[in-house]
Amino acid sequence: MSQDQNKMWGGRFAAGPDAIMEAINASIGFDRRMAAQDIEGSRAHAQMLAAVGIISDTDADAIREGLLTVLSEIEGGTFQFSIALEDIHMNVEARLKDLIGEPAGRLHTARSRNDQVATDFKLWVRDQMDAAIEGIDALMRAFVDQADAGADWVMPGFTHLQTAQPVTWGHHMLAYVEMLARDKSRFEDARRRMNTSPLGAAALAGTGFAIDREMTAQALRFDRPAANSLDAVSDRDFALEFLSCASICAMHLSRFAEELVIWSSAQFKFVTLSDRFSTGSSIMPQKKNPDAAELIRAKIGRIFGANVALMTVMKGLPLTYSKDMQEDKEQVFDAADNLMLALAAMTGMVTDMTANKDALRAAAASGFSTATDLADWLVRTLGMPFREAHHVTGSLVALAESRDVDLPELTLVEMQSVHADINESVFDVLTVENSVRSRTSFGGTAPENVRAEVKRWKGLL
């Protein structure tokens, strides 16, 4: 049958069924990204085969030399990838055969593509976990530096995006450091759990050859060989954990990205973003758009999408390997690329951004942000039950609102019209500076707390 016409499906398919099969089956288009890991795994395997006497040292040497040549061809861009050879594993082995002949055929002794792909993919994901941890560290340092610079700058704290109470800029920055520290520990935790070697599980049942799985595990810097061969070839938890750690981290990034979008608007003017991370408009000359923040905000879509996609692929798969699992890689590759990009872009934005101290303070002082301080004063000074103080303060806010002033601008006489016992010392608690300074409870926003936390984080990072 001709390759340019498909009898089964008619003219709509330009290619014959073999080409369609090749197109759906081949993974070389994407799994070539694991070439270095594939070659590393093969080198460890060959060395072990020689060490236990399954292949000769001469063959092992030829295999090692050949694999190094293949690696340099791939890295140098001269390697001819073949879709007919399906995947990176077959491509590498076929080229090895071209280069060294017969010994190449001995490499696959006591191994299958099933344990091979699980090993390669684990090595790849493990590298990405390390890269994510590094990227998170860099972003944490950028946030800590911002906190250090503005430990006592006052800004509005929000709930429901309504002014709630004054907080410090440093405290707000350190909130993200906490989130990122959890993200980092999630990756570290997942990395510890995943660090077992599938190599030597063979197709699914193990092998009759007297292999040394400890040796290959060690060579590939795994903590130990995976204990059950069936699980070893069918486990993709490590990829799912990577994606879920990445999703939570990307969710955190999206929250700060959203704050940057709001804060950089003409209505807020809390921060000025650097030109390096903004763009202009082709029609509106005044515009400076926070594109990088918007794109970071959007990245969670594809990263969490990958998480859902792979979870759905794995759901209901019987043990052990099924070809469905080949669909794991593109999701993880894309999520990893975009997480690293988002972390790097966010680190750049946080490093470059300038907080507009005056605008932050002005916003903090509006919206009756010290109403809670006033209620607390009534409790502390007049011995009022908090519920009553809440009510009295509500009346004072209503009075200020009707006069179109903020709480510190009410006169003592006006205040006493609401409650006769209020005295001059109330004004001490109505400024935003005094408000934040008073919040010294553990974890509170007081500048002295922020400074102590900055010091702690600088020691840790």
**Per CB under 6 A, which region of 169-177, 234-242, 292-300, 320-328 contacts ligand ARG?**
320-328
Nearer to ligand ARG, 93 or 259 (CB): 93
**Shortest separation between residue 203's beta carbon and ligand ARG, angstroms:** 7
Q: Which candidate, 104, 174, 99, places its Cα nearest to that of 141?
A: 174
Nearer to ligand ARG, 114 or 338 (CB): 114
Catalytic residue among 56, 185, 265, 281: 281
Residue 326 within binding range of ligand ARG, rule CB under 6 A? yes
Q: Residue for token digits 């099924």?
A: 322
**Shortest separation between residue 146's beta carbon and ligand ARG, angstroms:** 43
Measured from the Cβ of residue 274, the count of other Cβ atoms closer than 10 Å reads 13
Residue 378 within binding range of ligand ARG, rule CB under 6 A? no
Nearer to ligand ARG, 325 or 422 (CB): 325
In contact, 264 and 290? CB cutoff 8 Å? yes
Residue 163 within binding range of ligand ARG, rule CB under 6 A? no
Cα separation, 221 vs 236, whole angstroms: 19
Nearer to ligand ARG, 28 or 382 (CB): 28
In contact, 77 and 51? CB cutoff 8 Å? no
Is 281 one of the catalytic residues? yes
β partners of residue 155:
167
Site for ligand ARG in 176-215 (CB under 6 A): none
β partners of residue 279:
289
Binding residues for ligand ARG, rule CB under 6 A, total 10
Nearer to ligand ARG, 195 or 326 (CB): 326
**Per CB under 6 A, which region of 58-66, 255-263, 317-325, 362-370 contacts ligand ARG?**
317-325
Catalytic residue among 160, 282, 402, 441: 160
In contact, 41 and 119? CB cutoff 8 Å? yes
Is 391 one of the catalytic residues? no
In contact, 310 and 328? CB cutoff 8 Å? yes
Residues 54, 136, 253, 325: which binds ligand ARG (CB under 6 A)?
A: 325
What's the burial of 406, exposed, middle or buried (CB within 10 Å: 0-12/13-18/19+)? middle
Residue-wise DSSP of 49-88 = HHHTTSS-HHHHHHHHHHHHHHHHHHHHT-----GGG-SH
In contact, 303 and 247? CB cutoff 8 Å? yes
Residue 27 within binding range of ligand ARG, rule CB under 6 A? yes
Mask for 268-307, x = binds ligand ARG (CB under 6 A)? ----------------------------------------
In contact, 163 and 367? CB cutoff 8 Å? yes
Nearer to ligand ARG, 26 or 249 (CB): 26
In contact, 100 and 144? CB cutoff 8 Å? no
Residues 238, 256, 277, 321: which binds ligand ARG (CB under 6 A)?
A: 321
Residue 252 within binding range of ligand ARG, rule CB under 6 A? no
Q: Are strands 224-225 and 196-197 parallel, antiparallel or unpaired?
A: parallel
- Sign of the dihedral defined by the CA atoms of residues 147, 149, 151, 152, in that order: negative
Residue 264 within binding range of ligand ARG, rule CB under 6 A? no
**Per CB under 6 A, which region of 285-293, 319-327, 352-360, 426-434 contacts ligand ARG?**
319-327
Residue 87 within binding range of ligand ARG, rule CB under 6 A? yes
Cα separation, 49 vs 206, whole angstroms: 15
Cα separation, 49 vs 379, whole angstroms: 78
**Shortest separation between residue 218's beta carbon and ligand ARG, angstroms:** 24
* Farthest-apart Cα atoms in the chain, separation: 101
Cα separation, 302 vs 331, whole angstroms: 9
Nearer to ligand ARG, 118 or 136 (CB): 118
**Shortest separation between residue 331's beta carbon and ligand ARG, angstroms:** 12
Q: At what angle do helices 237-263 and 113-149 cross, to 10 degrees?
A: 30
Site for ligand ARG in 102-121 (CB under 6 A): 113-114, 117
Residues 6, 31, 60, 370: which binds ligand ARG (CB under 6 A)?
A: 31
Q: Token digits for 128?
A: 């990405």
Nearer to ligand ARG, 87 or 183 (CB): 87
Q: Which parts of this chain interact with ligand ARG (CB under 6 A)?
A: 27, 31, 87, 113-114, 117, 321, 323, 325-326
Hey, which residues are catalytic here? 160, 281
